[in-house]
Structure 1
């Protein structure tokens, strides 16, 4: 909300703005043209009060939050009437086309028909890749209702400096190698003897375990008082990157999908005398804004962030570097996280560093994500879930360790 308030005050100075949030929130005395900012959580709690107002326009930011039409958020949102509705999102589709249907059925009810009909007529054909014309028909139908802008479009952000993305391969330490091979051997044996729901659960457990081992043994082993240094190739490379960035008086965002891994990095960097702050899903709104302000003024140049909690809604243009410590299964989510730094207002080149453990499942995820990004306009696949349907042989090939250790 703080970011929105600052932008409104910047581009429409003098326009009344209020935050409808917190215990003392009120809608009393609304005037024409006033902006009311709220959160999805508050909207769910107070939908009847919001629905009682005659709104000229309702705008939802980060509209992927309502991609499930059956969620409480989406249902409550539909009870709030307005003369116009606008949905803003950097990822209209993360996993499947039903998400696009959910957003457009809110902004333009009836455009795409009922969900079941839409799935049959468009989504199944496009996601399956067996009817290229279906994607064209769908694009033609929604085009009048979508304004799609990329930063690379002419005239949109001509002032944006270049962005460089680099995959940085690291070797596993001997400890990581031993853990990785043991988990692959033991879990594949369990998977071969299982089927159905149990098998899918074991596959997910295997994928998560291997990603944690690639990060740091202490994360996988859930050690209470771990020794962090000299046990992870990724931590060693991060140390080198930070030494260089801080020596140049730069600022950096470090994203990880695991809160536990961020805590380990926080402890490790503190021991090295590096001042950090860590933003995650449990960080209160006021504290988030305080942390953003500290980062933007250069007080705390290393910002650790939970990918899902901090991947949207923040303006962190102080950062000239973005580090993805581990890989998410969806390139759109990673791109949105990177865009916390690479956005309008950025004046310096941005370097994106993706840390990838050589010879591991992360190597193969990187290849899959590159292919998936190439298909992002049609948006095929469903991330982790699709991997649970691999055969035993395909799964073994995916997770096998291939000469990436020291």
Structure 2
């Protein structure tokens, strides 16, 4: 695909090129990754200013997003990517693969620093989700701080640099400038700009800004940090659709394939039966989501990959409200249990709608059939997550229209968590083609079933 950057994306790329240390505070969906990769490409091959780049990112983002961006855009095709993920043996092999950009998940930053020690090879480091380095006590911060003198260029990316207030900024900015702007220690930063707020005797739980401190902090950061909000740069109401791919664990994929091929799946001494194409399609969607009902109506757990992806989306949103659509009762039950610390709310009553629109609900769970015509939810948030897709194009469009509608003041970001190499991909494609119906999906399943039949000849295994 040919890259035609929006003016703010071109500005962001140039911002990185022009500064040895820089931060982009761009909201989700504004193209931070492609803007950063464009700058990396120029710094490598036009300016010859850097030789080896490290990207630190959340695990799912490290696994998929950056490589997919390179594959998506024509101008980035020459960038060589190596993902430093998996077992230690796999990570070591990836480190010694010839590449331009090496990608590591943030949990392995300490391992990486210890591995190279004083022979740190990366002259440019990009921290995707800089806010994940907001604790000066975290080991990942301490490790990166140790090798910071060996890093020629450092870029921080995040949509929410201070989710809990400006107290969170010091560690992030320290990694950029070594304390030049906000001081050498977090203690000094607090004393300079904050007053104790909530406390229990000598223990201080929260801090509040001194008068005029906020403007002073912003002014000190203005030469290296640029902040862009979607509403300032995108014509509203705007809609951004994202696909969040997840890969099923080996065992779960084997179970999925068995069900797809044999129309029966044995789990924990019970069977999941699919007697028709329609039933099979539903069962496959359930397995893709992470659980399935057996012949007795009991829920059987398969995997948690979609829940993990949801966790990362929630973390990246840093407290922004999210409307999460689920497909099955077991999806709802698992989500309610997993997210209980966030006090998720089910969309059931007028009070739920009122509380959502007043910003009192961080995670609102809804079945698309319960969020149809007439519900106005647009004042409560701008992020939708499809945990499990629906068969119905009408339900899909109406559910999205709860936030993507007149009166919405922000860009609506719609995430679709999709299990790779499953029926999810066919449903997603049909939704994009605006040709979703029960019949269309049944035909897709039948085509898949025929593939297995045609691939089996003379007693051989399916090809």
Highest RCO, 1 vs 2 (Cα 8 Å, sep ≥ 6): 1
Q: Which has the higher strand share?
A: 2
Q: Rg larger in 1 or in 2? A: 2
TM-score (norm 2): 0.41
TM-score (norm 1): 0.46
